[in-house]
Structure 1
Amino acid sequence: MIETRDLTLGYDGNSVVQDINTKFESGKLTLILGLNGSGKSTLLKTLMGILKPIDGSVLIDGENLENLSIQQRAKKMSAIMQSQKVPSMSVFQYVLHGRFHDLSWPRRYRKKDRLLTLKALKAMGIEELADCRMDEISGGQRQKASLAQALCQDGDIVFLDEPAAYLDAASQFDLYKKAKNLAHKQKKTVIMISHDLPAALENADEVRILHQGKLYFSGTPEEFIQADISSEVFGLEIIEEMIQGKKRYLYLPGENQNQFAGHNEN
């Protein structure tokens, strides 16, 4: 579990979001949402320890993140970043690298590591791609390989920075399914940034909304709908529909329409 206490974050002493007090629980998929520049990626990088907070603290299972070594962090968390470079190696080798943090000197992979790699590939449904090169498979397949690496790493926390960006609809659907499985079946704390509000509401267990320099909303998708703030924050009117026995969310432009699309470093 991750907890933030009076967390203020930003760059070069200039705050982007102030006084964040929230928890990200194990066994749940939590989506971080907000307009461009609202601080989503800044928050993610701070939770990962890439950026130091301006004020406040990030606690990992009750321990201050700043007190954990790089190796300790690697054992607890893994990340799939939007700008991640595609490596020139086989899918099996890429997923196997998730075990590197657990190796002692000399750095040699063990039978245990290879078995865990095969198990992770199977869990993501890509065992037949084991010998394929990462730079020769589709974007959706690469994202599944990244999720397999995160599973192989066996940390309790998984960060996903817009992993569905540039994927086709079928691949996006499958990616959300795999992310939920990591949370629900593997009992991991899964934290994802998304620009797709309806997909986020349909798949998330919890949502966190960043707006106007603060944590504007924290709760379940159902509570977000009941709060009736989608037009205020995103300029969108959200409509809940039941389709084939499942909740689906549609949106229409609101009176104060904003751009809930595109990509931004913040």
Structure 2
Amino acid sequence: MRRLAQCLTMAAAFVGVCLGLPAGAEEEACPGLVASRDTLFSRAALHQDEVGLTFVGHATFLIETPQGVRIATDYNDGTHPPVTPDVATMNKAHSTHFSSRPDSAIKHVLRGWNPAGGPAIHDLTVQDVRIHNVSTNIRSSGGATEYDGNSIFVFEAAQLCIAHLGHLHHTLTPEHLKKLGRIDILLVPVDGGYTLETFDMMEVLRAINAPLMIPMHFFGPPTLNRFLASAREHFPVEFSNTAAVTLSRATLPKSPKILVLPGH
């Protein structure tokens, strides 16, 4: 296990170097607002007010709670953590956001769409985490609207509310925002085309107004940099030197901020 942790830590550092963080990243390194974790994908001891978050890649994060519950977001056959999560959430837009044959050892598989039609409805408590969803629409391959094909999943643990926007294709209505409620950490697709155009995504970020926003779904530095150029007009941007961070209410920024984790 120690050898695996060391290899994963080295791999994370290698990814950061290969991707090439935007200019100035060294000067903007995260100044302790979110504490780095020593290893990735480990059941490292968390305090009761802490949640572990690791950016696995694309739209997949591993969320770990104080009682050891592991959640993988947008779990799919190509991008998933090298440990079996207790819960996997998925979305429909592309095969890079779901698996048709998820690991049978996963206790709870939550699809963000309802195969029978209508919105998916999830409200599940697993030990110390509550997971629920807010349904949104997606564009079909022909450009038509496919209603309720995506879910914004919300994870409540350790007095934190973490929202994953999934494959969001439109801005949010007051009803969406009311269902979401208070969001502390927002996981944001920032590709600017496959999901929501950057200008509209900024509207979503300002509407939710989460203290901490973490980009995902950006494929590489050029796409990320394009998003950050727009984001800096509204929010300060910081960079973490590891893909794994520890989150708590006590360390949330006082005003909305973007934190970039290594990966793509």
Q: Shorter chain as normaliser: what TM range? A: 0.3 to 0.5
Q: Determine which structure has greater relative contact order: mean sequence separation of CA pairs < 8 Å that are 6+ residues apart, divided by chain length.
A: 1
Provide the TM-score with structure 2 as the length reference: 0.33
Higher helix share: 1
